[in-house]
Amino acid sequence: MKKFLLFGILAIGCVATAKVVKIQLPVETAVYRAAEGSQIANSQCLTCHSADYAAMQPPKPRDFWVAEVGKMKAKYGAPIPDEQTNELIAYFSKNYGTDTAATTTSPVFDNTVLDPQVLATKMGCLNCHNVDKKVIGPAYKDVAAKYSKDPQAKDRVRQQITHGGSGKWGTVPMPAYTIMTDAQVDALANWVLSQKAQ
Ligand code: HEC
Ligand code: HEC
């Protein structure tokens, strides 16, 4: 009884603080700040360590981020394609640096692309996923198998893509993708669910 009471008091305490303290969900703290370029950062810079590594740096000038991204590639073997390097440098200089006037030279995200394989590559899905093997995220054929009898399969996969999150396959969170159009998310969901075991 005593224990129960104590628990009750603690629970009330939590509810009371929840009103003033903004509770951060793990997904929000685990990914890079949403801004132009964050999709690439989330796909390229979460594979080895958390976003805390960048968040813990005091704001640094662009040169620091040029060196840092270069170091991740050269020293630690981060597989970042050259065309994404400038975009990453601009993103980090702007959002984790002192370079508020930075402009990305990257072309604007193309929302007309509907080929799922092109999208999966461009969005960085394939940095964490493979059709046949588990990488950081589950193999797409395993996702398709899991949902083969679920009439809501597509909604669930769409939800995963647009909201990200963890808990279905493990504790590692997937970043949320908010940049794509409905039709693009649809194309990706259909493609994932069409994968078959060989
Ligand atoms: C292939 C693995 C890998 C990838 C991908 C990667 N990093 Fe790192 N990163 C590391 C390692 C290893 C360290 C050093 C870890 C340690 O000392 O504990 C590190 C350290 C850091 C640090 C701390 C400062 C330092 O130089 O040690 C920052 C900031 C950082 N990474 C940013 C990034 C950013 C930004 C990206 C994406 C452009 C990225 N990392 C992608 C492996 C990676
Ligand atoms: C940084 C790594 C990462 C990236 C990038 C990534 N994912 Fe994931 N994905 C994961 C992880 C980890 C899980 C497992 C989440 C869980 O356990 O709930 C997952 C789960 C999934 C699932 C299974 C959902 C379910 O309901 O079981 C699908 C489908 C999926 N991802 C599709 C995508 C697509 C499409 C993209 C690109 C638009 C993408 N992922 C990008 C890591 C990633």
Does the pLDDT of residue 21 top 80, yes or no? no
Q: What's the CA gap between 102 and 153, in Å, rounded?
A: 41
Tens digit of each residue's pLDDT (9 = 90 or more) over 34-52 = 888 999 999 999 888 888 8
The pocket around ligand 2, CB under 6 angstroms, is made up of 43, 46, 120, 123-125, 127-129, 136-138, 143, 156-157, 160-161, 165-170, 172, 174-175, 177, 188, 192
In the block, tokens 């929302």 appear at 111
Does the pLDDT of residue 29 top 60, yes or no? no
Q: For residue 60, give the nearest of 94, 108, 102 by alpha carbon.
A: 94
Looking from the CA of 46 toward its CB, the CA atoms found within 13 Å total 24
Q: For residue 157, give the nearest of 120, 108, 111, 132 by alpha carbon.
A: 120
Q: Which pair of tokens denotes residue 93?
A: 């200089």
Does the pLDDT of residue 30 top 90, yes or no? no
For residues 140, 145, 150, 153, the Cα torsion angle rounded to the nearest 10 degrees is 10
Does the pLDDT of residue 122 top 60, yes or no? yes
Which ligand approaches the C-alpha of residue 58 most closely?
A: 1
Ligand 1, atom 22: closest residue by C-alpha: 53
Tens digit of each residue's pLDDT (9 = 90 or more) over 141-189 = 999 999 999 999 999 999 999 988 889 998 888 888 877 899 999 999 9
Percent of the chain with pLDDT over 90: 34
Residue 83: predicted pLDDT: 83
Q: For residue 131, give the nearest of 143, 121, 139 by alpha carbon.
A: 139
Q: Which residues contact 30 (CB under 8 A, 6 or more apart)?
A: 46, 50, 51, 173
**Under 8 Å between Cβ of 152 and 125:** no
Of these ranges, 6-15, 62-71, 98-107, the one predicted with the greatest mean pLDDT is 62-71
Which ligand approaches the C-alpha of residue 187 most closely?
A: 2
106 or 134, greater pLDDT = 134
113 or 153, greater pLDDT = 153
Does the pLDDT of residue 15 top 70, yes or no? no
Q: Which pair of tokens denotes residue 69?
A: 């991204």
Does the pLDDT of residue 19 top 80, yes or no? no
AA identity, residue 136: I
Q: For residue 111, give the nearest of 163, 162, 183 by alpha carbon.
A: 183
Ligand 1, atom 26: closest residue by C-alpha: 68
Whether 79 lines ligand 1, by a CB cut-off of 6 Å, is: no
Does the pLDDT of residue 16 top 70, yes or no? no
Mean of pLDDT values over 55-62 = 78
Mean pLDDT of the chain: 80
Residue 130: predicted pLDDT: 92
Q: How far is the CA of 75 from the centre of ligand 1 (A)?
A: 9
AA identity, residue 192: V
Which ligand approaches the C-alpha of residue 65 most closely?
A: 1
Residue 69: predicted pLDDT: 93
Q: What's the CA gap between 115 and 56, in Å, rounded?
A: 38
